[in-house]
Amino acid sequence: MKGYIQVYTGNGKGKTTAAIGLAIRALGAGKKVFFAQFVKGMEYAEHKILKALSPDITIRLYGLDCFIEKIATVKDIEAAKSGLKEVAGIIRSGKYDLVILDEANIALFYNLFSVEELLSVIDKRADGLEIVVTGRKAPEKLKIAADLVTEMKEIKHYYQKGIEARKGMEF
């Protein structure tokens, strides 16, 4: 089966959730999944359940304890570049059927690594490997290289009413 490049972007909620849905579908079909999460370094509820669902998913976090704000620190850049280097080996290995690069678009936006570096990694993927890249602000160059691009558009969100992130719903 041919592997494609999918990009989930936009300001609406649901990019990571859609990628996790695809991971669950792949696991249900007996496929192996690698879930790389950039920028974020905390364990979220989805990590716990994915690990419990199947031994065929590997989850790695390539960020610090919290989101970066405004200007990336040297530590943010080091964490992301180290993660991209590890992911490059995973993508070439042929061990997985689906690789999710969650929040990689945000890593690109904050210049933690370049779109050229990411595309170089993707271009060296094993035959048949499906890759999903998520996060707001996907660069045009990545969208052009992708086979599928989905934009999540925010119409209305309860955080506009002061509702904070809720355990089990947003984290």
What is the structure's pLDDT at 161?
82
Give the model's pLDDT for residue 164: 87
Tell me the domain boundaries of the chain: 5-155
pLDDT of residue 167: 80
Q: What pTM, to 2 d.p., does this model score?
A: 0.93
Does the 5-155 domain belong in CATH 2.60.40.1180?
A: no
Closest Cα to residue 148, out of 135, 163, 133, 159? 133
Q: What is the pLDDT of residue 163?
A: 84
Q: What is the pLDDT of residue 67?
A: 65
| Long-range contacts at 75-80 (CB < 8 A, ≥ 24 apart) | 76/39, 76/110, 76/112, 77/111, 77/112, 77/113, 79/41, 79/112, 80/38, 80/39, 80/107, 80/112, 80/113
Q: Nearest-CA neighbor of 98 among 58, 60, 40?
A: 58
In which residue ranges of the chain is pLDDT below 70?
Answer: 66-69
